[in-house]
Structures are given as structure tokens and as C-alpha cells.
């Protein structure tokens, strides 16, 4: 077996490429635009920071009742109505952050997540709370998530996510609890390294503010806690373009609509044709 430092695999995807570089710490890494060797100018620390408190609740409920929803809005549609009714500017950080959180909670349903927007002034930075159903785990994995709509993806965000475990509500503590960081920008090399080093089971999702998932990463601890055997690949979307999908035992897992129906056709012939096209692209 080649040394781990030399295990750099590259999967060709037409004119774009997907890279996976485990380095000295195994890290599952799937991206539409990551380029190896990217420099990270900011020095890193392995210390876990003091929990971060939110200074703006955007209409959220009290943190003492973390599973309750805001009385002002409960999804993206109701939030937009609330923003219009109250004159909340679309350029404000409250609007951008809340819009992104609701977008992510809805979008990740397609990947097996069931998330609610939660939190308040003492939420330890937790924006979404829920579960993640994957075929590699016997029961749904509990998830605490932070969403970063504006910030650059620097290593300190991983340390903030680690700090959020301290403030997780009852029912989201102990083993098989995953920390998920969702950001509108893909992870830098320093962020990926910090993710790989963490002793917590962590997942990074790069998703644009428009709702396109561009990167999925998780560390070795996350594999140990329930993601062993799960993978990610790119495939052609029936609507055109490309999309990241989860894989298990060499098969694409269908993206799921919110009401529980596959987004893509479940027709076997269409799925096999898509996989055949992916393999051709991979060899390009």
C-alpha cells in the first residue's frame, strides 16, 4: 500500500475534476472545484474555542425550548412574508442568514436530513437541529448544524463547530451526534485539515446561497460513528447540469423530495444510463 501522504486520487468529470486527499488524517472529500495544493494563509490552532453566542435571533424562539419554531415564521415562504411585512431589508445580515438557514434545511432533505431551524441568544451557534438518515447507520444520526452564508471558510469555523457540542440540547449529546458546517463557500485547505484533525464527527457541506451543493466532506471520526461505506459522486441531473449525490455499495442514492418522493426518476434504465455516462466522464 502506498503511504497515506501519497494517496491522492483524482476523478475526472468532463472538464471539471473531483479530488480526494486524505493526507495524514483520513478525510472523505468531494468537491466540484477543489484544487490540491491550495495555500491557507491563516495560522491554525487545535484549541476548542469558547462557545459562540448569536447576537441576532432573526425571530427565533427561546433557546430553552430548542425544538420549537418561531412564532413569526417556520419556513422560507413564511419568512419572506414576515420580512416583507416588517420591512426587513434583504441586504441585512439577519435576512441573509435566516434565508440561508431555511434554504439549507429544505435543500438537505434531499440527502436524508430532517432539520429544524432553532436557537436564540444562547444557542452556542447552533442554527439547525435534527437527524440524518443514511443506509450505513442502523438509526438516524443526530445532527447539530451551523450555517455560514457570508463568512469565508477558515479553520476557526471548525473550532466554533466543535464548541457547539458543549451547548447541544438534551437529546443531542453523547455518541452518534454529528456536527455539520454548511457554508456558501467551499472549504479551504486549512479548513479541510482542521476538519480531518478533529476528534468530533464532523461534516462540511459547501452550498451556494442559491441552493447548489458543491462540496461534501467528512472526517474519519464521522466514518467511525456511522458513515463507513458511504460515498459521494457527481452525476448528471435529469433537469440538466450536474449534482452531487450520495453513494452506497456502488449505487447512487436517489435524491428525495420533501414529501418523500425521488427528485430524479427511479427508472432503472435511466439510472443505469446515468451511471454509464458518469463512468465515461470519469475516464475522460
If you average pLDDT over every residue of the chain, what do you get? 75
Residue with the bigger pLDDT between 205 and 61: it is: 205
CA distance 183 to 186: 7
Residue 152 neighbours by CB distance under 10 Å: 13
CA distance 45 to 65: 33
- How would you list the strands of the sheet with 251-252, edge to edge? 230-236, 242-248, 251-252
Q: Is the pLDDT of residue 234 over 60?
A: yes
Alpha helices in the chain (DSSP H): 76-86, 93-107, 156-164, 189-197, 220-222, 268-282
What pLDDT shows up at residue 144? Answer: 97
| Residue 17 β-bridge partners | 12
Residue with the three cell numbers 483524482: 10
What pLDDT shows up at residue 257? Answer: 67
Residue with the three cell numbers 427528485: 263
Closest CA to 217 of 207, 208, 209: 207
CA distance 81 to 84: 5
What pLDDT shows up at residue 8? Answer: 28
| Residue 56 β-bridge partners | none
Q: Is the pLDDT of residue 33 over 60?
A: no
Residue 85 neighbours by CB distance under 10 Å: 10
Residue-wise pLDDT tens digits, 36-86? 333 333 333 333 333 333 333 444 433 344 544 577 999 999 999 999 999
Q: Is the pLDDT of residue 251 over 80?
A: yes
Residue-wise burial string across 253-264, b where 16 or more C-beta atoms lie within 10 A, e elsewhere: bbbbeeeeeebb
| For the chain, counts of helices (H) and of strands (E) | 6, 12
Residue-wise pLDDT tens digits, 120-149? 666 789 999 999 999 999 999 999 999 999
Residue 119 neighbours by CB distance under 10 Å: 26
Q: Using 50, 70 and 90 to split pLDDT, how confident is the model at 255?
A: confident
Q: Using 50, 70 and 90 to split pLDDT, how confident is the model at 10?
A: very low
Residue 146 neighbours by CB distance under 10 Å: 23
| Residue 216 β-bridge partners | 30, 205
Q: Is the pLDDT of residue 259 over 70?
A: no
Contacts of 77 (CB under 8 A, 6+ apart): none
Phi, psi of 233 (to 5 degrees): -145, 165
266 torsion bin: left (phi>0), alpha (psi -120 to 50), beta (else): alpha
Residue 270 neighbours by CB distance under 10 Å: 12
Average pLDDT value for residue range 89-103 = 95
Amino acid at each position: 500500500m502506498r503511504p497515506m501522504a501519497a494517496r491522492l486520487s483524482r476523478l475526472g468529470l468532463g472538464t471539471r475534476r473531483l479530488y480526494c486527499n486524505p493526507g495524514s488524517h483520513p478525510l472523505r472529500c468531494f468537491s466540484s472545484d477543489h484544487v490540491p495544493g491550495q495555500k491557507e494563509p491563516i495560522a491554525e490552532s487545535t484549541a476548542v474555542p469558547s462557545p459562540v453566542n448569536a447576537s441576532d435571533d432573526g425571530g427565533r424562539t427561546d433557546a430553552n425550548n430548542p425544538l420549537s419554531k418561531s412564532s413569526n415564521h417556520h419556513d422560507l415562504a413564511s419568512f419572506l412574508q414576515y420580512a416583507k411585512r416588517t420591512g426587513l431589508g434583504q441586504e441585512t445580515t439577519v435576512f441573509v442568514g435566516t434565508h440561508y438557514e431555511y434554504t439549507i434545511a429544505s435543500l438537505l432533505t434531499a440527502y436524508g436530513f430532517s432539520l429544524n431551524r432553532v436557537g436564540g441568544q444562547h444557542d452556542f451557534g447552533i442554527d439547525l437541529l435534527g437527524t440524518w438518515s443514511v443506509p450505513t447507520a442502523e438509526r438516524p444520526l443526530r445532527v447539530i448544524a451551523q450555517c455560514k452564508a457570508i463568512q469565508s471558510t477558515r479553520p476557526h469555523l471548525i473550532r466554533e463547530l466543535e464548541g457547539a457540542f458543549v451547548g447541544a440540547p438534551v437529546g443531542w449529546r453523547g455518541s452518534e451526534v454529528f456536527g455539520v458546517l454548511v457554508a456558501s463557500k467551499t472549504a479551504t485547505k486549512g479548513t479541510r485539515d482542521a476538519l480531518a484533525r478533529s476528534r468530533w464527527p464532523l461534516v462540511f457541506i459547501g452550498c451556494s446561497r442559491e441552493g447548489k451543493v458543491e462540496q461534501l466532506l467528512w472526517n474519519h471520526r464521522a466514518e467511525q460513528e456511522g458513515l463507513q461505506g458511504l460515498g459521494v459522486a457527481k452525476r448528471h441531473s435529469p433537469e440538466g447540469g450536474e449534482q452531487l449525490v450520495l453513494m452506497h455499495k456502488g449505487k447512487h442514492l436517489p435524491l428525495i423530495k420533501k414529501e418523500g418522493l425521488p427528485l430524479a426518476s427511479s427508472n432503472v434504465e435511466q439510472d443505469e444510463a446515468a451511471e454509464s455516462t458518469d463512468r465515461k466522464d470519469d475516464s475522460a
